[in-house]
Amino acid sequence: MVRIAHISDSHLGCSLFQLTERREDARKCLKKAVDMAMQHSPDILVHTGDLFHSPLPQNDDMIFVIELFKELKDKVRLIVLDGNHDIPYGYRYNFSPLRGLEIMELITSTGNGPYSTFTEEFDGKEVQMHLVSWTSKHQFEYFLNSAKTNGGISLFFAHDIPVMKEDLPVHFNYYGCGHKHNFWLDQEYDIGRPGSTCIVNWNREMTGKKKLIVVDIDNSGKNEYTMQTLNDVREFKFITGLDITGMGTEEANQTVTNSLSRLAPKKKKPIIIVEVNGLIDSETERGIKRKELIEFGEKKLDPLFLHIEPNWQCMGPRNVDLSEPLNVEKSVIEYMEQTKDKMAQEILESLPKLLGSEA
């Protein structure tokens, strides 16, 4: 039997909302994921790309990785692929930071090209591994369809799999990929994507999950899966589904305030993101007090960062159709009915007096 632990997309060096604390968080998240994976005593630990957020990582991130991977050197076969963030583009820099880790013999990757393959024996069984770093779809399909298997256990790891699952050859026991940051596992087709080890792009990831995937493949080629949730070391509070459609200024502000009031973070210095949806008029949009709302949330919740995402749409001034524009009384009544003004009843009762038509 061979056991694979699969993680991906650590993006060391990323700083969500330009928060320097998130760079340290990303390192802690990777260490947490690796420790969790090693608790399962895998034969192979694979990271399917975007280890770094930039192909020119800062020294503290590179030193962290070297020290972490040195601890793994004699314990597990460590495979790390180049993701699109690891590969430099342009003429000034030619090599991914993974090349140095390969030279130090800390990892196995695809070298100076996008594809490599090798065979290793685990538990008396030959395991063939095919590795594809970030590349074009055309090249990926070429590597995929030209890969030869030896009849034993065959694994295919890529940063991304840009083809339909139905088009994947059936002779690979497990396909592992990354890139899209959210967990996905198809046990029928034996394709796994663990998601990122930390939250990198909140608006893509707030409704998704991240999981360590552990795959046990017995000598007959049958797979057994174990998943373990990977939570970010920083607490995130996402407020979604907040709809202010048709609300006036006061009601919209109070709705956001009430949502913030109900939050109860479990850890210190959380990141709080409030997504406000809906269709409102321009007057309401002008009256939304984002600064005051943020100050209220910061005072109550003491977050590392609080963000209000203005996901609403402004419909501009409301169109009002008047059947008799020169008839003041009828026009006022039609305006009140169409705009659903909260003072409509009061205005309509006072209208005869205002127009001088009261008996």
270 and 181 share one domain: no
Exposure string for 117-145, b = 16+ CB within 10 A, e = fewer = beeeebeeeebbbbbbbbbeeeebeebbe
Identify the CA nearest to 232 among candidates 206, 214, 204, 213.
206
Structure confidence at residue 89 (pLDDT)? 80
Assess whether 26 and 124 both reside in one domain: yes
Total domain count, the chain: 3
Do 211 and 240 sit in the same domain of this protein? no
Residue 52: which domain range?
A: 2-229
Residue where one domain finishes, among candidates 208, 229, 250: 229
Whether 125 and 271 map to the same domain: the answer is no
Check which CATH number belongs to the domain holding 29 and give it: 3.60.21.10
Tell me, yes or no, whether 120 and 204 share the same domain: yes
pTM of the model as a whole: 0.85
**Distance in angstroms (rounded) separating the CA atoms of residues 68 and 34:** 9
For residue 93, what pLDDT is reported? 66
Six-digit token string for 39: 């608790």
Give pLDDT, residue 8. Answer: 98
Q: Looking at the structure, do residues 224 and 349 belong to the same domain, yes or no? A: no
Same domain (yes/no): 121, 263: no
Indicate whether 144 and 191 sit together in one domain: yes
- Cα angle, residue 185 at apex, residues 182 and 190 outer, rounded to 5°: 140
The answer to whether residues 12 and 128 belong to one domain is yes
342 lies in the same domain as 254: no
Q: Which of 201, 229, 257 lies at the terminal end of a domain, its last residue?
A: 229
Task: Tell me if residue 19 falls in helix, strand or coil.
Answer: coil
What residue has token string 């409301």?
Answer: 318
Non-local (6+) Cβ contacts of 191 within 8 A are 161, 165, 168, 174, 175, 176, 177, 184, 185
Pair (306, 183) in one structural domain = no
The structure tokens listed for 122 are 């685990």
pLDDT score recorded for residue 359: 45
Q: List the pLDDT tens digit at each of the 359 positions of the chain.
A: 999 999 999 999 999 999 999 999 999 999 999 999 999 999 999 999 999 999 999 999 999 999 999 999 999 999 999 999 999 986 566 789 999 999 999 999 999 999 999 999 998 889 999 999 999 999 999 999 999 888 789 999 999 999 999 999 999 999 999 999 999 999 999 999 999 999 999 988 988 899 999 999 998 889 999 999 999 999 999 998 899 999 999 999 999 999 999 999 999 999 999 999 999 988 899 899 999 999 999 999 999 999 999 999 987 666 778 888 888 888 888 887 777 676 777 777 787 777 766 54
**Contacts of 344 by beta carbon, 8 Å cutoff, 6+ apart:** 336, 337
Q: What angle do CA 238, 242, 248 make, to 5 degrees?
A: 140
In single-letter form, the type of residue at position 6 comes to H
Q: Say whether both 50 and 195 belong to one domain.
A: yes
Predicted local confidence at residue 316, as pLDDT: 63
Calpha distance 282→75 (Å, rounded): 62
From 207, 229, 251, give the residue that closes a domain: 229
Which pLDDT belongs to residue 358? 53
Tell me what pLDDT residue 357 has. 60
